[in-house]
Amino acid sequence: MTHNTPLSPRPLRRLSDSTRRVLTAAQLRAQGVTAAETNEQCRPGGSWQQILPGVFLLHPGPPTSEERLHAVLSYAARSSFRETPAGATGAAGVAGVPAQPHADEPRPAPRYTDAVITGLAALTLHGFSSAPPLPSLDTIDVLVPRMRRLRTVGCARIVRSAAMPTPSYVTGLPVAPVPRALADAVGELADAGAVRRLLTEAVRGGHTEPAAVVRELTQARLLNRPHVVDAVDSLLAEGRAIAEDHLYRMVREYALPDPVWNVDLRLPGGPHLGGLDAYWPEQAVAVELDTRAPRQEDDALWSEYARKREMLERLGITVVHLTPKKLRDSLEQQAAVVRTALMASCDRDPAAYVVVLPR
């Protein structure tokens, strides 16, 4: 074959109908386009271009953000299109490979196996205003299993993972859940302000809970970086403030009796029993918000929390344990739990007398 040999007319016409098409070399071959024909199209001044190794953009202009995302996934994935049923034959006559549609036919939905967008690009797709816009990102992070033999190249930055997360799907693309995407983004950021803004938006925007973020940061071994630790402290404070607002709203909207807020309990002339977020003295019912995050150095704090709860319950005080997630996702149900505890106080033995002090 020479460079003047005409290309196979049907595959080329079909592939050229789309001005926003990203295909791999294997997908082109499946449509009857040989390597020589692909190289010819990608010559200087040609109609196509190679955007990543083995991945081609079927128009000469710069790729859109969507095309870059698909290109990165196509480069990293084991498989990039849904398979047709066994024995089926596409229009190109290749069994098991879907045919490329005409311009007026629906395109088969991509299925990217073992490849998930993560990092800043994932946060942008999740709607983070503090994440940079996709066109400004020089590279797009993509998660792959640890044993995959891939290298970072061009706009694709390979991030290896021992355990692949279950992706969310944003505009049909597999995207890492927010906590994992945050950890992968933070691992590449040295700007303390940028880290703090991302973590704060994650909680304030309702994308995730502080505990889930800290768990991922711990697994990524990022909590030995001072600027990350400072941002996590701000994150936990933000999470507590939001949880407290939900608790106030629960009492108000579901007509619970007014408690005393943010108090310390002591035995008369005795030791300090601990602080509570809300307490109903007449019913001896307490609410405690658990806004702690799972950090390795918090073992002692977990033990202290358990001791406090056990001591209060020995004194006849019912402790209702609420988390930010419970308050965010099922406020009415949590109100019912508190109301039940208040009503049940009539059937319990009187609690020990305790001194209630403002905290």
| Contact status, residue 147 vs residue 138, Cβ threshold 8 Å | no
Burial readout 217-226 (b: 16 or more C-beta within 10 A, e: otherwise) = bbeeebbebe
Number of Cβ within a 10 Å radius of residue 337: 15
Q: For tokens 């993560």, what's the residue?
A: 118
pLDDT of residue 234: 87
CA distances from 31 to 40, 109, 198 (A): 16, 17, 43
Of 48, 79, 109, the last residue of a domain is: 109
Same structural domain, 301 and 246: no
pTM: 0.74
Q: Are residues 177 and 120 in the same domain?
A: yes
Whether 278 and 290 map to the same domain: the answer is: yes
What confidence score (pLDDT) does residue 6 get? 39
Separation between Cα atoms, residue 248 and residue 96, nearest integer Å: 58
Residues 187 and 279 in one domain: no
Residue 225 pLDDT: 93
Order across the sheet with 49-52: list the strands.
22-24, 55-57, 49-52
Report how many domains make up the chain: 3
Is the same domain home to 233 and 307? no
How confident is the model at residue 301, as a pLDDT?
A: 57
Q: Around 48, how many Cα atoms within 13 Å sit in the side-chain half-sphere?
A: 27
Between the CA of residue 269 and those of 133, 272, 273, what are the distances in Å? 60, 9, 12
> Does residue 347 sit in the same domain as residue 263?
yes
pLDDT 10s digit of each residue in the chain, 359 long? 444 443 443 444 444 433 358 999 998 998 899 999 999 999 998 999 999 999 999 999 899 999 999 999 999 998 655 433 333 333 333 322 333 333 344 444 457 899 999 999 999 999 999 999 999 999 999 999 999 989 999 999 999 999 999 999 998 899 999 999 999 999 999 999 999 999 999 988 989 988 899 999 999 999 999 999 999 988 888 888 889 999 999 999 999 999 999 999 999 987 888 899 999 999 999 999 887 655 544 555 556 777 888 899 999 999 998 988 889 889 999 999 999 999 998 888 889 999 999 98
> 324 and 301 in one domain?
yes
